[in-house]
Amino acid sequence: MSIDKHRLPQLRRAAQPGSRRQDVLRKGLLAAGALSSLSYVVATDVLAASRWEGYRGTEQMVSELFAVGSPGRDVLVPFTWLYTLLFTVFGVGVWISARGNRALRTGGGLLIAYGLWNIVGGFYPLTLGEEASVPMHIVATNVQLALMVAAMSFVAAGFHGRMRWYSIASLAVSAVMGMVAFMAAPGPNLVLGIGERISIGVFLLWVAVLAVALWKRPATGGEANA
């Protein structure tokens, strides 16, 4: 039985709509990462901070905005669920984009875990004026930080070139400024407020840059070259 070679291009074209839909879905999941970073800044230092008269973002912790007794908490409790959804969806997008790239896929899995850990962390908020709430909040925060460091490390290993070095630099700056802020606690002081926001801001920007880097390339096997 002979093969009609003229039909082969038609078969390829028939498969394209499904591939396009999958890529649109993948890019939509990745876009959730950039949206999560933007929404975090708006929800915390714009909406929640505006409800707390006298709150100084340059001297006080972001955690205080989430704390029980904070005037901004009623904004941030529902936001936490939105952020968790957006970030977890982003992690799934990274996972899908990492076909054949084990390091990047592991990084995607860790990003999913980071996003979901917000649910656990929500059970251990600070309570303003109550020292007993501090230890468990620190434990929950440190677990999330460990997931962040691991995710950034594996993502860096999954790339070659600029994205790898950018990830390494972002991880270093975020980790160092996070430790500086921790040592300056409980504050309020400039080192605490600015240091923590640099640490958080570097990570939020890294998430957005990673989303763009993966958006630009097809979900194919092998290591990323960006």
Residue-level pLDDT, tens digit, the chain, 226 residues: 444 444 434 434 444 555 788 889 999 999 999 999 999 999 999 999 999 999 998 999 898 999 999 999 999 999 999 999 999 999 999 999 988 899 999 999 999 999 999 999 888 888 998 888 888 988 998 999 999 999 999 999 999 899 999 999 999 999 999 899 888 887 788 999 999 999 999 999 999 999 999 988 764 544 555 6
Q: Which helix (H) or strand (E) holds 38?
A: helix 8-41
How do the domains of the chain map onto residue ranges?
A: 19-215
- With a CB cutoff of 8 Å and minimum separation 6, the contacts of 201 are 41
Alpha helices in 51-189 (DSSP H): 63-66, 73-97, 102-121, 134-157, 162-184
Distance between CA atoms of 191 and 204, rounded to whole angstroms? Answer: 20
Distance between CA atoms of 183 and 4, rounded to whole angstroms? Answer: 72
CB 83 within 8 A of CB 44: no
What are the angstrom distances between the C-alpha of 101 and each of 22, 29, 96, 119? 18, 18, 10, 29
Sole residue written with tokens 């600015």: 194
Read off the pTM: 0.86
Residue 220 CB neighbour total at 10 angstroms:
10
CB 206 within 8 A of CB 152: yes
Q: 201: closest CA among 178, 225, 226, 168?
A: 178
pLDDT of res. 3: 41
